[in-house]
Structure 1
Amino acid sequence: MIAWLSEALVLERIYWYLAIPFTVLFIIQLIATFLGLGDGDGMEGIEEGLDLDNDFEFESSLNLFTLRNFITFFTVFGWAGITFLNAGMGTSATLLLSTLLGIIMMLIVSVLFYFTMKLTHNGNMQIEYAKGATCQVYIRIPAKRSGIGKVNITFQDAFRELEAMTDDENAIPTGTVVQVKDILSNRILLVEKITGGD
């Protein structure tokens, strides 16, 4: 009985050592996420001295082994262990249940961030909607796809500046009104001069 009690006290101390610092990190992580610091995938912005980069590529897979999940796991693991030990559970049952709860919470957080990132990604520019739109040349577009120019275009309720090429025999000067014929790549438009354009 005394051996079990001392073992439980040592284990509870370990749980406290894990619960408190990871809870602090968890709260900082939550605040950073709600303030839009980093890309929502952990503590990258905080780790890099708040050197934040909002441009990110959406990844279609669940990332289980991230700093965010690591913090979540040990926060839940610590507080669950303290709770189960104070409820009078044995050390083996406490270790098993707190580990299980930590893993379950880690999976839940991963799934939530996966769908959040997917929604964010779906809200980004979908360049195929530019097809057929009219726009104005901002930087001269060389003839016969011999170089890249730029156009100012409005689509998806946003004003954008995108790269463009043309199949026209002559270069298209700045200020000319053109129409988007096709999409050549993720960010390059194929345009043609509109007869009667400026």
Structure 2
Amino acid sequence: MIAWLSEVLVLEQIYWYLAIPFTVLFIIQLVATFLGLGDGDGIEGVEEGLDLDSDLEFESSLNLFTIRNFITFFTVFGWSGITFSNAGMGTFSTLLLSTILGIIVMLIVSVLFYFTMKLTHNGNMQIEYAKGATCQVYIRIPAKRNGTGKVSITLQDTFRELDAMTDEEEAIPTGTVVQVKDVLSNSILLVEKITRGDE
């Protein structure tokens, strides 16, 4: 009887040791997400260091092994363990139910973040759509790709100012109407002057 009680008390202590720190991390993570800090997937520097999450850019796959999910699992596991233990459930039942509940909540959070990231990704600017569009030089563009300027362009029904370069022999001054010839690998527009025949 004493040995059983001792085992229960030690197990409950472990639940408390897990619940409190992971709850603090969970709250910090939640606040950071709502404030727009990091990428919404945990503590930014920690994740980069552990390299457990590749969601810095949107991926189509559902990634379960992330710092966010790790924190979520142990937060739920700790508190459900404390609850089931105080309810008088057995050690094995408490461990099993806490683990199942932790996994279920972790999966729910993963799915929610997956669809949130998907919506965000779909709403992002698709710069490839700029090809062939006409725009106006906002900041002078140096000749022969010797630097970048800026153009004002309406893209996906939104007015934007984007970086631009040109292959023209002379710099393109502010106010000139140009056409987007291509999009360079670093998301810079390659533009050219519109000749009278193109207008």
- TM-score of the two chains, using structure 2 as the length reference: 0.78
| Alpha-carbon distance in structure 2 between the residues aligned to 1:37 and 1:70 | 19
Structure 1 residue 31 displacement after superposition: 1.3
| Alpha-carbon distance in structure 1 between the residues aligned to 2:69 and 2:4 | 32
| Alpha-carbon distance in structure 2 between the residues aligned to 1:102 and 1:153 | 50
Task: Name 2:44's counterpart in structure 1.
Answer: 44
Does 2:8 match 1:8?
Answer: yes
Structure 1 residue 180 displacement after superposition: 2.1
Does 2:30 match 1:24?
Answer: no
Could you tell me which runs of 5 or more consecutive residues in structure 1 were left unpaired when the two chains were aligned: 49-55
| Alpha-carbon distance in structure 2 between the residues aligned to 1:118 and 1:134 | 30
| Alpha-carbon distance in structure 2 between the residues aligned to 1:81 and 1:127 | 49
Q: For residues 86-130 of structure 1, give each alpha carbon's deviation from its aligned partner in whole angstroms, at most 9, with x where no partner exists.
A: 222110111111112112222222222222122222222111222
The answer as to whether partners of 1:140 and 1:171 remain within 8 angstroms in 2 is no
The residue type paired with residue 85 of structure 2 is: L
| Alpha-carbon distance in structure 2 between the residues aligned to 1:80 and 1:100 | 10
| Alpha-carbon distance in structure 2 between the residues aligned to 1:5 and 1:36 | 46
Task: Name 2:160's counterpart in structure 1.
Answer: 159
| Alpha-carbon distance in structure 2 between the residues aligned to 1:160 and 1:117 | 25
Structure-2 change in CA distance of 1:184 and 1:150 (3 Å)? same
Structure 1 residue 74 displacement after superposition: 0.9
Task: Name 2:191's counterpart in structure 1.
Answer: 191
Does 2:170 match 1:171?
Answer: yes
Task: Name 1:142's counterpart in structure 2.
Answer: 143
What's the Cα RMSD here? 2.8
Q: For residues 28-67 of structure 1, give each alpha carbon's deviation from its aligned partner in whole angstroms, at most 9, with x where no partner exists.
A: 221111111111110116999xxxxxxx522333332322
Structure-2 change in CA distance of 1:185 and 1:165 (3 Å)? farther
Question: Does the residue aligned with 1:3 lie in a helix, a strand or coil?
Answer: helix
Q: How many residue pairs were aligned?
A: 186
Structure-2 change in CA distance of 1:9 and 1:36 (3 Å)? same
Could you tell me which runs of 5 or more consecutive residues in structure 2 were left unpaired when the two chains were aligned: 49-55
The residue type paired with residue 112 of structure 1 is: L
Question: Does the residue aligned with 2:172 lie in a helix, a strand or coil?
Answer: coil
Identity %: 73
Question: Does the residue aligned with 2:135 lie in a helix, a strand or coil?
Answer: strand
